[in-house]
């Protein structure tokens, strides 16, 4: 077995990953918070007001990164679910299930901030156009996955069943993304492009991209924290968890 495979297997071992996630998680949170504050300063203070939407457009700096994260979290969850179902890797099961609540949180924020942005701009809190409806359906899919995971007693079987559901729901992701192109929607089309120039002012773009990075880091911080809990739950009877449980008890009493 070569060094890379060995390293890969070591990382997958629960106590090792628990330790790594333990110090990596806070760094993700810290860095995410820092970049987020810088990005929000750029977005709220430095960027000029939009000529059409005035200061209301500043919701973009939280709405769009959260929308991107809702989709990214689903993609991450589905990829891990696929690995978990095909290769039965424990860590992938836990990573998949840990991404669901975070993705649901980002999707929820997207819907609420979108509604708060839509009221002054479009005159309505909600409309049943393709983008909003498919985003709402995405939230339902997340809730269904979380619900199914919590409904089954055996954690590993629960993760496999919920992971399977996540794969079935993958079909919604391209619908959410391309809905603004495929249908006539109230929601505006995409302005930020991965390849080629974006149709947005530079002073508004850099805070947006910084916020995207910050939310990614927050996602990974939350994911690692939840994965730690999942590993403890799964390996509850093992020695390494017992040591941690007793040490935690000594720390809180001593």
Partner 1 sequence: MKPGSTSSACAALIRRDLTLVWRRRGDALNPILFALIVVALFPLALGPEPENLRRIAAGVVFVAILLAGLLALDTLFRGDYEDGSLEQLVLSPHPLSLLLACKIAVHWLTTALPLIVIAPLLGELLHLAEPVRWVLVLALLLATPLLSLLGAVCVALTVGMHRSGMLLALLVLPLYVPVLIFGAGACNAAQAALPYLAPLLWLGAALVLALVLAPLACAAALRISLS
Partner 2 sequence: MGSFFAMGGYAGFVWPAYAVFFIVLAIDALAPRLQRRRLLQELRGRLQRRASRDRNGTSS
Contact footprint for partner 2 (CB under 8 A):
29, 44-45, 49, 54-56, 58-59, 62-63, 66, 101-102, 105, 108-109, 112-113, 116-117, 119-120, 218, 221-222, 225-226, 228-229, 232-233, 236, 241-242, 244-246, 248-249
Give me the least distance between CB of 2 and partner 2, in Å please: 35
Q: By C-beta, is 148 or 217 nearer to partner 1?
A: 148
- Exposed (0-12), middle (13-18) or buried (19+): which is 106, by Cβ within 10 Å? buried
* Residue 20 binds which entry of partner 1, partner 2, none, CB below 5-8 Å type-dependent: none
Neighbours of 240 (CB within 10 A): 16
Give me the least distance between CB of 190 and partner 1, in Å please: 22
Q: By C-beta, is 165 or 244 nearer to partner 2?
A: 244
Q: By C-beta, is 18 or 142 nearer to partner 1?
A: 142
Which runs of consecutive H residues, i.e. helices, occur in 45-193?
A: 60-87, 90-122, 130-151, 155-168, 172-182
Q: Using alpha carbons, select from 182, 253, 225, 194 the residue that is nearest to residue 26.
A: 225
| DSSP-derived 3-state class of residue 54 | strand
Of residues 108 through 167, those in contact with partner 1 by CB under 8 A are 133, 137-138, 140-141, 143-144, 147-148, 151-152, 157, 160-161, 164-165
* Residue 181 binds which entry of partner 1, partner 2, none, CB below 5-8 Å type-dependent: none
Neighbours of 158 (CB within 10 A): 17
Neighbours of 108 (CB within 10 A): 15
Q: Assess 181 for contact with partner 1 (CB under 8 A).
A: no
Place of tokens 């006539």: 184
CA quadruple 231, 233, 239, 240: dihedral, nearest 10: 30
Q: Mask: binding to partner 1, 60-99, rule CB under 8 A, as x and -?
A: -------------------------x--------------
Q: By C-beta, is 83 or 137 nearer to partner 1?
A: 137
What DSSP element (H or E) covers 227? helix 202-234
């Amino acid at each position: 077995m070569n060094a890379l495979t060995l390293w890969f297997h070591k990382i997958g071992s629960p106590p090792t990953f628990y330790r790594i996630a333990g110090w990596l998680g806070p760094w993700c949170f810290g860095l995410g918070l820092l970049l987020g504050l810088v990005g929000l300063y750029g977005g709220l203070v430095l960027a000029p007001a939009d000529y059409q939407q005035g200061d209301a457009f500043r919701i973009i700096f939280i709405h769009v990164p959260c929308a991107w994260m809702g989709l990214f979290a689903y993609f991450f969850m589905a990829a891990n679910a696929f690995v978990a179902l095909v290769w039965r890797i424990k860590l992938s099961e836990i990573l998949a299930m840990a991404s669901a609540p975070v993705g649901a949180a980002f999707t929820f924020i997207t819907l609420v901030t979108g509604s708060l942005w839509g009221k002054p701009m479009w005159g309505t809190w909600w409309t049943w156009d393709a983008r909003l409806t498919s985003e709402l359906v995405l939230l339902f899919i997340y809730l269904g996955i979380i619900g199914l995971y919590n409904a089954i007693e055996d954690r590993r079987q629960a993760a496999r069943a919920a992971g399977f559901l996540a794969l079935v729901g993958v079909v919604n992701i391209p619908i959410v993304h391309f809905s603004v192109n495929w249908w006539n929607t109230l929601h505006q089309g995409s302005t930020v492009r991965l390849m080629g120039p974006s149709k947005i002012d530079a002073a508004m773009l850099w805070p947006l991209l910084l916020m995207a990075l910050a939310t990614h880091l927050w996602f990974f911080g939350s994911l690692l924290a939840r994965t730690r809990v999942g590993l403890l739950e799964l390996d509850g009877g093992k020695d390494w968890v017992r040591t941690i449980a007793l040490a935690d008890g000594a720390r809180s009493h001593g």
